[in-house]
Structure 1
Amino acid sequence: MMMRTKQILFAALGLMIFLPSFLSYGAAAEAEGKITSKDEVVYATLKSNGELEDIYVVNTLEVAKAGELIDYGKYSSVKNLTDLSELDQNGQVVQINAPEGKFYYQGNMEDNTELPWDIEISYLLDGREVVASELAGKEGHVEIKINTAANEKADSVYFENYLLQISLQLSNSYQNIEADGGMVANAGKNKQITFTVMPGQEESLSAEADVADFEFSGIDIAAVPSTLPIDTSEMENMTDDMSALSDAIRELNNGVAELKKGVSELNDGAASLRDGSAKYKNGMSELSGSSSQVVAASSSIGDALKKINSSLSQGSDEMDMSSLSELPGGLTQLANGLNQAADGLSELRKNYSEAYSALDGAIKGIPDHQLSEEEIAGLLSSGADANVVNKLVDTYKSAQKVKGTYVQVQKAFAAVDPTLNQVSGSVKEMSGNLTTIANELSASLEDMDMGALGELQKGLSTLSSNYGEFHSGLVSYTKGVSELSSSYSQLHSGIAGLSGGTSELNKGVGELHNGTSELHQETKDLPEQMQQEINEMIKEYDKSDFEPVSFVSAKNEKVTSVQFVIKTEAVEKEDQETKQAKPEKKKGFWDLLLELF
């Protein structure tokens, strides 16, 4: 009876304390409430292999006006986290009598609920895959692999717009901790490893270490909308730099095109020079080859003159007139030989003039541009073929050397033509004089009387004496022609080498121009392409315009935030010590009072 009386007193006291608040709350519930925003935090626990174990959502309602509210969700059950009032759940409809301010309640998701990500976790011990529970307390090399992918059974909006931050902690006592693609940082007594998975990306992550007495607190995964701030101001400078690079490559290509044109002209000039030089060389060789015959004929004529002069000086009785009668024929033969030599000199002069004109034009066609070491280095760093550039530089240096040498010896080249003209004229004149002498001598012999032999002997004596000087000059001339022919062979070899070099240069510059043209075509739109890539990157990773979507129901409105907090189970050693049971706390007045209701 006494116990019954106490219960009645407690009930009456409780009614007196809570009845005013219940009455006022009930009156407020009759009115329709109003919310300004709704936040959802999705909590999920995973097994050690990544398989979903449990999932629930904590909803936060910002209540601007107290009263009856309706929220939606595919919950198996709901729980009020704000006060002790019950929530009314009817299918996917949750009715709430909420006071003004923040109102929290938990919704436990149905069993068939799917996370937006497929998460697979595997464990290896010394290269052998094992289940997580077998690792507890083990020693060896442990590797933890985490694979993330889109879950085709869930709404793709979260996979495409949410960033995953995956973190795990390993004991600081573990050795050789590595994380491919992750960031490792100290966190007290542990090393914290953090991975970031960008929206829409599937990743394979890995962390490994040499462990002893292995324990693992599990993997924490947070998923939030990607709101990475992207500053595009520096990117504008970058595109400007790319524009300058593109313009520089265009100018380089134009310069190489001009170089190609000049080198082509130089190559044509060098080829003409080589052909003219070959003709000149052949003419010199022929002239040098016939010089010995001319010298031999001249020597025979000199001997004949000496013999005739000697015979005439001994008197008419001892003179052999048959030898004298042979003299006009010998002089005519020598005159013909000199005439042929003069014709050869004229042909030589013509060929030389053509060759010298081609040489002069080709040498003058070599550009006077001077390439600095900085310009050569810039050309090498432009991306062009280094072998081609080196050939170009070597040929450029050789061409400049040839031009410098030509300037020094140009006077000698220019003096050859008038000299050949003078020598040819002199030889022609000598040939004519000898022909005249031969004709006059032949006529004199036909009409000769013994009284005229004195004058003839005197004339022949003078001719014999002077002919020695002529013969010496002719020998020196032929010797000079031989030396010139020999020296010019070396010059012709150099000219032929120059022609071959310019041909290689022309080919190399052509390849270089093809390369710079291709480079120009590939880079002329580089600034626009780069800007397009930047825009696509910003579009892919900047989710600042993303509108949150309720995870629990598409009917929910005014959703301002949806976040995911995911945790895997830990790997722990079994505790062998039996925990002592804590003594039951003695219930106080308020505990007993609350139990009544």
Structure 2
Amino acid sequence: MKKIFSYALVLTLLLAILALPTVAEGTPTPKDEVVYGLLNADGSIQNMYVVNGFRDKNITDYGDYSYLQNMTSTEKLSQMGDKITIHSNSDTFYYEGILQTKELPWNISIHYMLDGKKMDAKDLAGKSGQLGLDISITQNQTVNSTFFKNYALQLAVTLDNKYCSDINAENATIVNAGSKKQVSYIVLPGNGAHIHIACKVNDFRMEPITINGIKLALHFSFDSVSFTDQLGELTAAIEQLDSGAGGLLDGIFQLKSGMGKYVDGVNKFTKALPALREGIKQVDSGTTELKNGLHALTQQNEPLVNGALALQKSTFDSVNAQLAPMHLPLLTPENYSQLLDNTPSFAAVKQQLDSMVQFTQGMIAYTSGVAELSNGAATLCEGTSKLAENMSPIITAVNGLYDAAVELNSAVKRLYDGLAQYKKGTLQLKNETDNIEEEIEKKIDEMRLEILGNPNEIISFVSEKNTNVNSVQFVLKTEEIKAVYVDRPELAQPVKLTFWQKLLKLFGLYP
């Protein structure tokens, strides 16, 4: 009977265990990682450990640790290879693990100079002179590049005013903290740094240099909707401008063809002296029409130039409005090339502005050419009229007429070539501004990613098996440079002897 009861009890317990909910074996528990690194004064790694934080009681974690320490309770951590497990009674649990491999995503190198000579940090304590501190930060190619590309570094060097003065640190933020000055730098994700700090020191000592690796959390507010309508109007105006330039080019082409024929006619005229009088009348009539036509054409010069300048101003205003959140200097036709020349991320914007400036300059050149042509036509007309009235210097006048016609024809050709370049510029401007809104949005997103890194890419520094990591932070500090004081033994004070003691010592009877 007892045996049957025992079997029934065992079966009941097995069924109860099988009925319990199960968790996939080996699934890593969500956690936060804080990587602590103690660096030597030269930046090399002395020791590294990680504090892992959990908000769970049944914990599974992974990491290659040489030593584990429960920081929350007395329960013992179980370590099987790189797998760490524990059941804790606390809602939040922390444990520390010393890493087997001591590698950081950054190579950090620190060098010290005193009065122009290299010195080890251990020899600097208590020294005086002109100190040079150089810190070099580069990517460690042996560590997953995700951390170098997406984490910023906050570096702080604290200098005591009692021991340090005349601090010179280019591109640093220097703040007063009581009797000390804190020299701070921020190294953006994906960037290295070469930092130089110089100061005068007296009886030198220095607190640890601290370096924190974090994900930047900066908010960029950019409202593209506010200027989308303006950009739409701009692109529509550019299309109209390109269409108008095409029509204008066709007209100038016809003028160019007409001028070619006109020059040929003048040439034939010089050879037809017997029929000169009749020819002069025809030329005079033609030049009068030409003068009137060009005069009418010059009436459009001012509106065309003003329109081009207004379009140029609108383009620069629009680009400046788009780039205002980046706090760049105000772009103008005079300074934009210098400001944007060495910035690849603004190449598309610079190309757009180049096209606009070229277009404006082409329009000014065109109107100048029209004015020049009109003046030449007026002069030509005056010459033909005088020629018709005065036939005596016929040979000289005819030759001068021909020369003027050749020059005028050359001017028309130059005008046509300039307008052809202008048309090419308007077409290029049209093509390059078709998707200007999308291009600007894309460039701003690229710049944001370049400055802040990818905020969504969070992986474990300790082990790729830890797939539920909420955050990773690096907290690094160097050794302190402090003066070493040597204890000196106290000198024994001479013992005062009495008269009888002195007497006994004289005969060797007193120790």
Same fold by TM-score, threshold 0.5 exceeded? Answer: yes
2: CA distance, partners of 1:251 / 1:183: 51
1:104 aligned to which of 81, 88, 94: 94
1:78 aligns with 2:82: no
Structure 2 residue identity aligned to 1:164: L
| Contact in 2 for aligned 1:229/1:542 (Cα 8 Å) | no
Aligned pair 1:149/2:60, yes or no?
no
**Partner deviation per Cα, 1:316-345 (whole Å, 9 max, x = no partner):** xxxxxxxxxxxxxxxxxxxxxxxxxxxx4x
Work out whether residues 33 and 98 of structure 1, in 8 Å CA contact, stay in contact via their aligned partners in 2: no
Of residues 348, 351, 358, the one that matches 2:276 is 348
Asked if structure 1 preserves the Cα contact closer than 8 Å seen for 2:460 and 2:472, the reply is yes
> How does 1:327-366 map onto structure 2 within 5 Å?
344=274, 347-366=275-294
User: How much has 1:274 moved relative to structure 2?
Assistant: 3.5
Q: Distance in 1 between matches of 2:219 and 2:311?
A: 39
**Aligned equivalent of 1:59:** 52
CA contact (8 A) 2:150 2:455 kept: no
User: Aligned match of 1:40 in 24, 33, 41?
Assistant: 33
- Name which of 149, 155, 158 aligns with 1:166: 155
Seq. identity, %: 27
1:392 corresponds to 2:366:
yes
Structure 2 equivalent of residue 297 of structure 1: none
Q: In structure 2, how many angstroms separate the alpha carbons of the residues matched to 1:78 and 1:503?
A: 86
2:414 is aligned, of 504, 515, 521, to: 504
> CA, structure 1 residues 404+351, in 2 after alignment: closer, same or farther (shift >3 Å)?
closer
Going from structure 1 to structure 2, the CA distance change for 1:95 and 1:507 (only over 3 Å counts) comes to closer
In structure 2, how many angstroms separate the alpha carbons of the residues matched to 1:570 and 1:491? 93
Alignment of 1:109-188 (within 5 A): 109-110=99-100, 112-125=101-114, 129-136=118-125, 137-140=127-130, 142-152=132-142, 154-171=143-160, 174-175=165-166, 177-180=168-171, 182-188=172-178
Match of 1:566 in 2: 476
Listed as ranges, the matches of 1:308-327 within 5 Å are none
Q: CA deviation at 1:234?
A: 2.4
- The structural deviation recorded for 1:145 is 2.6
Cα distance, 1:390–1:156 mapped onto 2, change above 3 Å: closer
Q: Which runs of 5+ in 1 are unaligned?
A: 1-30, 287-343, 420-479, 581-597
- Give the AA of the match of 1:49: D
Q: Distance in 2 between matches of 1:79 and 1:90?
A: 15
How do residues 57-456 of structure 1 correspond to structure 2 at under 5 angstroms? 57-63=50-56, 69=59, 71-84=61-74, 87=77, 89=79, 91-94=81-84, 96=86, 98-110=88-100, 112-125=101-114, 129-136=118-125, 137-140=127-130, 142-152=132-142, 154-171=143-160, 174-175=165-166, 177-180=168-171, 182-199=172-189, 201-213=190-202, 214-231=204-221, 233-237=222-226, 246-280=235-269, 286=273, 344=274, 347-366=275-294, 367=297, 368-372=299-303, 374-375=306-307, 377=309, 382-384=356-358, 391-402=365-376, 413=385
Partner Cα separation in structure 2 for residue 274 and residue 123 of structure 1? 82
Gapped regions of structure 2 (runs ≥ 5): 1-19, 313-332, 334-355, 491-511
SS of the aligned residue for 1:218 comes to: coil
Q: In 1, distance between residues paired with 2:232 and 2:199? A: 51
The 3 A distance-change label for structure 1 pair 117 and 235 is farther
1:492-571 mapped onto 2 (5 Å cutoff): 493-537=403-447, 541=452, 543-546=454-457, 548-556=458-466, 558-571=468-481
Q: Do the aligned residues in 2 keep the contact of 1:115 with 1:151 (CA within 8 Å)? A: no
Q: Distance in 1 between matches of 2:111 and 2:199?
A: 17
Alignment check: 8 A CA contact 2:29 2:61 kept: no
The aligned amino acid for 2:89 is P
Is 1:269–1:362's contact at 8 Å kept on the other side of the alignment? no
Give, in angstroms, the shift of residue 47 of structure 1.
Answer: 1.4
Deviation at 1:45, TM superposition (A): 0.8
How much does 1:258 deviate? 3.2
Structure (1 or 2) with the greater helix fraction: 1
Confirm or deny: 8 A CA contact 1:80 1:87 kept in the other structure.
Answer: yes
Contact 1:179 1:193 in 2 (8 A): no
Measure how far apart 1:494 and its partner are. Answer: 4.2
Cα distance in structure 2, aligned partners of 1:545 and 1:59: 20
Kindly state the Cα deviation for residue 69 of structure 1 after the two structures are TM-superposed. Answer: 4.9
Helix, strand or coil for the counterpart of 2:391?
helix
Separation (CA, whole Å) in 1 of partners of 2:227 and 2:119: 50
When the two chains are superposed, the root-mean-square deviation of aligned CA atoms in Å is 4.3
- Is the Cα contact below 8 Å between 1:74 and 1:109 reproduced in 2? yes
